[in-house]
Chains A and B, each alone.
Chain A
Amino acid sequence: MDPEIFDVEGADVAWCPGCGDFPILRTLKAALAELEIDQKKLVLASGIGQAGKLPHYLKSHTYNSLHGRALSPATAIKAVNRELTVIVTSGDGDMYGEGGNHLMHTIRRNPDITTIVHNNMVYGLTKGQASPTSQMEMITPLQVEGVFLEPFNPLAIAIALDASFVARTFAGDIEHMKNVFKEAIKHKGFALVDVFQPCPTFNKINTYGWFKDNTYKLEDSHDPHDRNEAFKRATETGKYPLGIFYKNENKLTFEETLSVYSKDNSPLFERKTDVQKVKDLIEKKRSV
């Protein structure tokens, strides 16, 4: 499949030159093409932020919702139509700040969706305030004396919640990123992919160079089914590991637990309510 089929003609791309979102978009298209994902059955959902605009630049069904809220509609979209491939694109502020509660509960629900978080450790769209993943001591217009909160660790949190797929990749390593995206999309269950991604305009600390110097790849010997080991690796600082940290294929997905699919896999919009059945139910109230 040609990745170009996912191009949106004449899209007015609002990202800054040099933004790490560009390689993420390009790589996601390539991953989708290599997986031969049916474009007509692909839904991209997002919240607000620069990353939230990605669905407008990738030809697919699009649900661009409210700040922090992408996971709730994405869960429901997949739940009412299991034939759809649902991917959420979000930023660190959107997913770990405003939408933190939903992330926690979506991991618990385990819908079969993929969530790609463009993590640039800063608020870009609102011009450079700290995000939940901003590094300590980073000075911003709001954190005037520097960030003094411990950065949010999405991977450790996700592994603690026994998320079914947890990975981190880097927008400066296309091959690695593509492989992780493909594995995440193929994975049955909730997949969280945190992508280190530089913001050239507002984050002068965590640049391409910084990410290159401060990351390394998990060894081939890393066993993603070892939850304790995965958690340990997710809490490493100094140099941050990249790769698939954790996988649990033994969890039921949200959709699999729904009684509507116990006998019939068809999407809900194809199912008509039998009004006579309601009438019969009411009639039963004539006796105890």
Chain B
Amino acid sequence: MSEFLSGEDVSIVLCGEAGQGIQTVEAILVQAVKLGGYNVFSSKEYMSRIRGGENSTQIRVSSKRISAYVDRIDILVAISKGAIDHLKKRISENTIIIGDEDTLKDVVRPDVIKIPFLKIAKNIGGPIYANIIAAGVLSRILNIDFQIFEECITAMFARKGEKILEGDLKASAEGYKIGEELLKSAKINIEIEKNDGIRDEILLNGTDVFGYGCLAGGVKFMSSYPMTPSTSLQVFIAQYSKDFDIIFEQAEDEIAAINMGLGASYAGARALAATSGSGFALMSEAVGLSGMIETPIVLYIGQRPGPAVGLPTRTAQEDLNLVLYSGPGETPRAIFAPGNFEDAFYMTQRAFNIADKYQIPVFILSDQYMVDIYYNIPSLMTKDVEIETHEHSVFGAPKSKILWDYIVKTDENYRRFEITEDGVSPRGIPGFGEGFVVVDSDEHDEEGHITEDLNLRTEMVEKRLKKLEGIKKDVVPPELIGPSDYKILIIGWGSTYGPIKETLDNLQSNDIAFLYFKQVYPLHKDTLKFVEKAQKTIIFENNANSQFGNLIKLETGFEIHEKALKYNGMPFSVEEVTEHLKNLQEVERNSTNFLNPQNRKSWRSYNGS
């Protein structure tokens, strides 16, 4: 039989056990596809184990720019026995399955293409080469020049020694040969338009982007305890620590991580700690300390499903409430939740400036899906970024005394917590100037010394909370995507951006717009105006309680009409978002009054594969 895949994009899924090199193939193929002149997007799902299990990676190859996960599988490369069963809900009659002839010997389907991957691999030098042969097959059927593929293989394996590289190059050539035969036999044919310009684009993954944002934000100190999916950012910073004068320390626990960060910040280094929900729970006491001693810190939370340890390697947006309310007492904060690479870079960079400007904890909410995706973009740092200086005279310091990042040179009369009009006191650090920098976790006077004076206590609370007014003025507005005279308004934050945006692009509707929040706290002042304008509102969130929807209600009084909530550990797919919106339009057509609760439909229970 013959399958022709043509049109705008193809979704290839590789599935195998942990340890079979699926992620290596992903890393090679995304490069090869981009250098081959196609847009590429990849996303992975994996189990919490070191070997075995079933992991899969989706690689979309497209003539259009893409940055979202789809359920659809056009080509499945099944490297393990369990692959087909693992993905059965996503395999359709149009899915072409390519697999090892021995592994798939029991699979009886007309659309299965069996190839002796393992036998060939063993001839080359061992089963470890099977994944590279598969990558070679895919590169050939995608019409990627062998030279380009070889270049990617060399870049990946050169450091592993000549012998391994030689084997991998041999495996590549074998893969190409098999691909060639497949094309000749007309079992498979892919025709996607190439664009040579894409070759020179930047190919990144989510972790890289957050990492560059941290570097551009001037991070100088990071202490963290490894925890999926924040570990990749820790690795990124550790690897660049030498080049960028950063101290990276693996802390003994999350408590030490944040407390070290605060100490570093007190001494004048921009500080970062990264963790996930369960680890962040341990940090919350020190979030209160950051608020009390008005010492900035940036906290990066790679979200995954909870409660407690939850699903360690899956995705979720469940930690908004934790971050929003963390810490004893009341203290202002800012929370960013970027949903695409450009925003992830700029919001992360901004987080460091905002933390220093207001001397507060600032949070970046990321998630497993967001950190693991790859896609190509024309460029990342399109605007200049700067590590902001402390230049507002209302902050109380003459310009001559300002250091470059909101730090002032102290004089003998320096008071760390001087009460100012906007609540922000000039921030001094030990060893820079004549003053003493005294900070205390107890309530304190302007100098920083413990006080139990209840009037002073009131003043200090008001001073700290006053900062929220400034923070609100600096809120990044939500971005309205689509028509401004919308009837239906989709609301999303963080990584749901990709699938919502692609759905919207596909639907080309004049009635539907998307309000995308990249800062989720404080809320932008125009939020109410945006939601009130719609006849119908729907929010997409990867949690079961609509945490952001509830925050909008709390802050604006507006209750979002429909809530599409997914919490099985997988991101929304473009198909799911499309289905929700089609259902919503259906309701709209069949009803004269959308706001009638009887016409409301809940998709809360949706739990796809």
Q: Is the CB of A102 within 8 A of B269?
A: no
Q: Is the CB of A73 within 8 A of B259?
A: yes
Known: A40-B434, A62-B439, A76-B267. A285 touches B202 (CB 8 A): yes
Interface hits, A13-64 → B, CB 8 Å: 14, 40-41, 43, 45, 48, 53, 55-56, 59-64
Q: Is the CB of A80 within 8 A of B439?
A: no
A237 to B337, CA, bound (A): 57
**Which residues of chain A come closer than 8 Å to B523, judged between CB atoms?**
none
**Which residues of chain B come closer than 8 Å to A74, judged between CB atoms?**
263
Q: Is the CB of B247 within 8 A of A80?
A: yes
A101 to B253, CA, bound (A): 9
A40 to B412, CA, bound (A): 10
Q: Is the CB of B241 within 8 A of A61?
A: no
**Which residues of chain B come closer than 8 Å to A11, judged between CB atoms?**
449
Nearest residue in B to A10 (C-beta to C-beta)? Answer: B449
Closest chain-B Cβ to A112's Cβ sits at a distance in Å of: 14
B-binding segment of A177-185, A200-208, A241-249, A275-283? A275-283
**Which residues of chain B come closer than 8 Å to A104, judged between CB atoms?**
252
**Which residues of chain B come closer than 8 Å to A275, judged between CB atoms?**
216, 384-387
A-binding segment of B80-88, B392-400, B424-432? B424-432
Closest chain-B Cβ to A53's Cβ sits at a distance in Å of: 7
Q: Is the CB of B267 within 8 A of A81?
A: yes
Q: Is the CB of A76 within 8 A of B386?
A: no
**Which residues of chain B come closer than 8 Å to A43, judged between CB atoms?**
267, 430
A135 to B223, CA, bound (A): 37
| Residues 510-547 of chain B, each 1 if its beta carbon lies under 8 Å from chain A, else 0 | 00000000000000000000000000000000000000
Tell yes or no: B139 within 8 A of A by CB.
no
Contact of A278 among B151, B216, B449 (CB under 8 A): B216
Q: Is the CB of A53 within 8 A of B450?
A: yes
**Which residues of chain A come closer than 8 Å to B438, judged between CB atoms?**
55-56, 61-62, 64
A61 to B347, CA, bound (A): 33
| Residues 186-228 of chain B, each 1 if its beta carbon lies under 8 Å from chain A, else 0 | 0000000000000011111000100010011011110100000
| Residues 232-258 of chain A, each 1 if its beta carbon lies under 8 Å from chain B, else 0 | 000000000000000000000000001
Interface hits, B251-265 → A, CB 8 Å: 251-253, 255-256, 259-264
**Which residues of chain A come closer than 8 Å to B201, judged between CB atoms?**
286
Contact of B220 among A8, A83, A268, A288 (CB under 8 A): A268
**Which residues of chain B come closer than 8 Å to A77, judged between CB atoms?**
263-264, 266-267, 430
Q: Is the CB of B259 within 8 A of A72?
A: yes
Nearest residue in A to B437 (C-beta to C-beta)? Answer: A61
A84 to B223, CA, bound (A): 20
Q: Is the CB of A269 within 8 A of B436?
A: no
Closest chain-B Cβ to A217's Cβ sits at a distance in Å of: 35
**Which residues of chain A come closer than 8 Å to B439, judged between CB atoms?**
62-64
Interface hits, A103-146 → B, CB 8 Å: 104-105, 109
Q: Is the CB of A285 within 8 A of B203?
A: yes
Q: Is the CB of B264 within 8 A of A69?
A: no
**Which residues of chain A come closer than 8 Å to B325, judged between CB atoms?**
none
A55 to B212, CA, bound (A): 39
Q: Is the CB of B431 within 8 A of A267?
A: yes
Closest chain-A Cβ to B242's Cβ sits at a distance in Å of: 5
Nearest residue in A to B450 (C-beta to C-beta)? Answer: A56
Tell yes or no: A75 within 8 A of B by CB.
yes
Closest chain-B Cβ to A262's Cβ sits at a distance in Å of: 8
Tell yes or no: B145 within 8 A of A by CB.
no
**Which residues of chain A come closer than 8 Å to B151, judged between CB atoms?**
288
Q: Is the CB of B440 within 8 A of A64?
A: yes
A80 to B271, CA, bound (A): 10
Contact of B264 among A62, A80, A277, A285 (CB under 8 A): A80
Contact of B429 among A55, A66, A269 (CB under 8 A): A269
| Residues 147-185 of chain B, each 1 if its beta carbon lies under 8 Å from chain A, else 0 | 000011001000000000000000000000000000000
Q: Is the CB of B269 within 8 A of A268?
A: yes
Tell yes or no: B244 within 8 A of A by CB.
yes
Tell yes or no: B355 within 8 A of A by CB.
no
Tell yes or no: A273 within 8 A of B by CB.
yes
Nearest residue in B to A260 (C-beta to C-beta)? Answer: B245
A261 to B350, CA, bound (A): 27
A260 to B219, CA, bound (A): 13
A275 to B245, CA, bound (A): 13
**Which residues of chain A come closer than 8 Å to B267, judged between CB atoms?**
43, 76-77, 80-81, 84, 267-269
Q: Is the CB of B247 within 8 A of A66?
A: no
Tell yes or no: A163 within 8 A of B by CB.
no
Q: Is the CB of B245 within 8 A of A105?
A: no
A-B residue pair count with CB separations less than 8 angstroms: 200
Interface centre among A55, A65, A74, A267 (most CB of B within 10 A): A65
Nearest residue in B to A69 (C-beta to C-beta)? Answer: B259
Tell yes or no: B360 within 8 A of A by CB.
no
Closest chain-A Cβ to B329's Cβ sits at a distance in Å of: 13
A192 to B293, CA, bound (A): 27
Tell yes or no: B380 within 8 A of A by CB.
yes
Tell yes or no: A79 within 8 A of B by CB.
yes
**Which residues of chain A come closer than 8 Å to B241, judged between CB atoms?**
259-260
Q: Is the CB of B244 within 8 A of A66?
A: no
A271 to B219, CA, bound (A): 11
Tell yes or no: B407 within 8 A of A by CB.
yes
Closest chain-A Cβ to B576's Cβ sits at a distance in Å of: 31
Closest chain-A Cβ to B55's Cβ sits at a distance in Å of: 23
Q: Is the CB of B203 within 8 A of A79?
A: no
Nearest residue in B to A60 (C-beta to C-beta)? Answer: B436
Known: A63-B439, A72-B251, A76-B260. A279 touches B266 (CB 8 A): no
**Which residues of chain A come closer than 8 Å to B456, judged between CB atoms?**
none
Known: A62-B439, A66-B285. A272 touches B448 (CB 8 A): no
A102 to B253, CA, bound (A): 9
| Residues 404-444 of chain B, each 1 if its beta carbon lies under 8 Å from chain A, else 0 | 10010000000000000000000001111010111111100
Interface hits, A215-237 → B, CB 8 Å: none
Q: Is the CB of B430 within 8 A of A282?
A: no
Closest chain-A Cβ to B219's Cβ sits at a distance in Å of: 8
Q: Is the CB of B381 within 8 A of A84?
A: no
Q: Is the CB of A271 within 8 A of B449?
A: no
Q: Is the CB of B431 within 8 A of A41?
A: yes
A84 to B286, CA, bound (A): 23
Tell yes or no: B35 within 8 A of A by CB.
yes
Q: Is the CB of B212 within 8 A of A102?
A: no
Q: Is the CB of A76 within 8 A of B431?
A: no
Tell yes or no: B11 within 8 A of A by CB.
no
Closest chain-B Cβ to A97's Cβ sits at a distance in Å of: 14
Closest chain-B Cβ to A203's Cβ sits at a distance in Å of: 24
A79 to B256, CA, bound (A): 14
Closest chain-B Cβ to A170's Cβ sits at a distance in Å of: 28
Tell yes or no: B37 within 8 A of A by CB.
no
**Which residues of chain A come closer than 8 Å to B437, judged between CB atoms?**
61-62
Q: Is the CB of B259 within 8 A of A269?
A: no
Tell yes or no: B144 within 8 A of A by CB.
no
Q: Is the CB of B436 within 8 A of A62?
A: yes
**Which residues of chain B come closer than 8 Å to A65, judged between CB atoms?**
259, 262-263, 289, 293, 441
Known: A65-B289, A72-B256. A56 touches B449 (CB 8 A): yes
**Which residues of chain B come closer than 8 Å to A258, judged between CB atoms?**
247
**Which residues of chain A come closer than 8 Å to B212, judged between CB atoms?**
278, 281-282
Chosen A-B contacts, 23 in total, with CB atoms closer than 8 Å, are A43-B430, A56-B440, A60-B436, A62-B448, A64-B439, A64-B440, A64-B450, A73-B263, A75-B260, A76-B271, A77-B264, A77-B266, A101-B252, A102-B252, A260-B241, A260-B247, A268-B245, A269-B268, A272-B218, A273-B387, A285-B204, A286-B203, A288-B155
